[in-house]
Amino acid sequence: MVACNNVNPLLTEWDTPYGIPPYDKIKVSDYLPAIKTAIAENKAEIDSIVNNPDAPTFENTIEALEYSGKTLAKVTGVLFNVSETDGSDELNKVVEEAMPLLSEAADEISMNKDLYERVKAVYEADQSGLTAEQKMVLKKTYEGFTRNGIGLDEAGQAELKEINSRLSTLSTKFGNNLLEENKAFEKEFGFPAAFYYSKMASIEDRGLREKIFKAYSSRGHKGNANDNRAICAEILALKTRKAQLLGFENSASYILDNKMAHDPQTVDAFLKEIMDAAMAKARKEIVEMEKISGFKIQPWDWSYYAEKVRKAQYDLDEDVIRQYFSMENVRKGMFLAAKKLYGINAEPLKDVPVYNPAVETFKITDENGEFLGIFTTDYFPRSTKRGGAWMNNVREEYVDRDGKEIRPIIVNVGNLAAPTDTTPSLMSIDDVQTMFHEFGHALHGLLTKCHYVSVSGTAVSRDFVEVFSQFNENFAFQPELLAEYAFHYKTGEVIPDSLVQKINNSLKFNQGFMTGELAAASILDMKLHELALAKPEDLDIDAFEAQACKEMGLIDEIIPRYRPTYFSHIFDGGYSAGYYGYLWAEVIDQDAFDQFRKNGIFNKELATSFRKTFLEKGGSEEPMALYRSWRGQDPDPAALMRFRGLIEN
């Protein structure tokens, strides 16, 4: 149960710089005992709230709930960060065992009727003395009970607990299966699945392209031990039953009920308009590619011939571009943009604990030297890391009981091009955008100034959370910023103005394909969660996907960005009936960035108001109320279509 010195490092105060987890002292065998201890501690905290003889108030009930579970959050913050980035078979087993325990513990709180009665009493009392943030925390706490089964009878609650436990087990299994499939893909083809798109653009052998495409697009779909089809079907059936237990027709209706979009019909209409425009553009893109290919384009041909068209139309060679974008230069550019906009500084930290030698750590401060948080980067692929790119909180920002501000510890993870023996890590245009995107999430977490974890940083509506990451992408290729960070890795020459112009001219290139595959995945996600699936065996997921793609008007030359069996966002993540959020948020972030285009890209006054209105407030106020207060109006629905070149400016 414990480390060799009889002390579990996960349960001690961390005597490390800035409270960084002591990764070097934590063993796999420490996690489960720490989780069990932390769950018991949290239960005692909840009992204390419930048994408080004083009348319920915000302070003794809602605030007390906010301060509970800190040890559990501390332990899971480390566990999930390490398991996703530097996992092992042993650690995967720990997560598989831990998830049902965590699900059960969460259910015990959300279905505690005595606790709910205290929360309800505060919710129904006069709220005039509460701050806007406290009102939002109270609202989220109350809805956390009403949306998680507090109104069910004993039998209903028992069934819901079983569903939640099974869902946690299945999602973990889905992720582990996909990790194994990605390992097999890399072993067969010699490069990570994360590099699929960039590799397909340069492979001349059409037969090899077809082989790689079919292997990539059939991950979790091969009839082997890692086949995810049955898991997908069972997850969807369980989600349906959960939604219906809680009074909703299907999972999509339940999930969207408290989101900005609110209902599936709104999302479906939103996505249809984008999909139609994307397919119209994609058909034109095919014509240009087939002029070069001389034959009908297939899905495995698209990236290869799109790159040829790009070179012809924009005289843009990705291999030349990469030479100006080493990872270190791009990261410098991210930090420079944040300094220009928000006045923050990033100082490298050496000799601090890390979970893997590839991790680099930075101390983030504002222009007055105030400590804002710890930021770590982990950009390169390895077999122990899941695919994709993401931001993760190891520790959230909040103000503790003594009034001390606890600043966050945030990780940006990627699977970008690793350095070789002869070259540094060199980034493609997409890679650069990915780094700026994830740092946008990190800024949201680092700059937040909230009192309570439940509304701190990125704790916002799922269809609002991508606004700030996508907003940050806009700065990556601004000419005045490129002049300060884009230098040739050999000669040190600054990127030429002619190349900068070509990059920016090309950003709307191939948007029929890129928008189409993204919209297709979003629609597929919605259609899967709009199912009222009674039992798993009622779903032939292959036939369902084919029919959905036909109905949405997806052309044969494009497949959804994610097929169900490797759609980890919705089966092993938080984006169920929420993948549309990337496009939904893009309407807002492009409308917001229009203000910078009009008033100065690095306008400090505008950036300060953006920071104070959004980044500092996290989820402490309603998203659209915040946006209207800053913009003076609702976002322009056409902003996304203009930005992607799907309609004329």
Give the residue numbers marked as catalytic.
Answer: 438
**Considering only CA atoms, which of 542, 365, 429 is closest in space to residue 201?**
429
Count other C-beta atoms under 10 Å from residue 153's C-beta.
9
Q: Are strands 360-365 and 345-349 parallel, antiparallel or unpaired?
A: antiparallel
Count other C-beta atoms under 10 Å from residue 480's C-beta.
11
Contact 123, 54 (CB under 8 A): no
DSSP 58: I
Nearest-angstrom CA–CA distance, 169 and 165: 6
Nearest-angstrom CA–CA distance, 176 and 89: 9
Between the alpha carbon of residue 490 and those of residues 269, 325, 422, the distances in Å are: 50, 11, 11
Residue 432 dihedral angles phi and psi, to the nearest 5°: -60, -45
Nearest-angstrom CA–CA distance, 538 and 523: 20
Nearest-angstrom CA–CA distance, 445 and 468: 10
Between the alpha carbon of residue 538 and those of residues 170, 249, 577, the distances in Å are: 18, 17, 20
Per residue in 630-640, is it b (16+ CB within 10 Å) or e — as a string?
Answer: ebeeebeeebb
Nearest-angstrom CA–CA distance, 493 and 486: 8
Nearest-angstrom CA–CA distance, 618 and 25: 33
Nearest-angstrom CA–CA distance, 399 and 449: 9
Nearest-angstrom CA–CA distance, 203 and 188: 15
Alpha carbon distance, N-terminus to C-terminus of the chain: 63
Q: How would you class 492 by CB atoms within 10 Å of its CB: exposed for 0-12, middle for 13-18, buried for 19 or more?
A: exposed
Between the alpha carbon of residue 547 and those of residues 245, 528, 543, 544, the distances in Å are: 28, 12, 6, 5
**Considering only CA atoms, which of 42, 41, 54 is closest in space to residue 118?**
54
For residue 406, what is the enclosing H or E element? Answer: strand 405-406
Instruction: Return all residues near 193 (Cβ < 8 A) that are at least 6 apart.
Output: 181, 182, 185, 186, 216, 219, 387
**Considering only CA atoms, which of 122, 109, 111, 126 is closest in space to residue 63?**
122
The SS3 assignment for 40 reads helix
Sign of CA dihedral 130, 133, 136, 138: negative
Nearest-angstrom CA–CA distance, 546 and 108: 40
Note the Cα 536 to chain centre separation in Å: 28
Instruction: Return all residues near 2 (Cβ < 8 A) that are at least 6 apart.
Output: 8, 30, 33
Nearest-angstrom CA–CA distance, 473 and 434: 8
The SS3 assignment for 319 reads helix
Tokens standing for residue 59: 């302070």
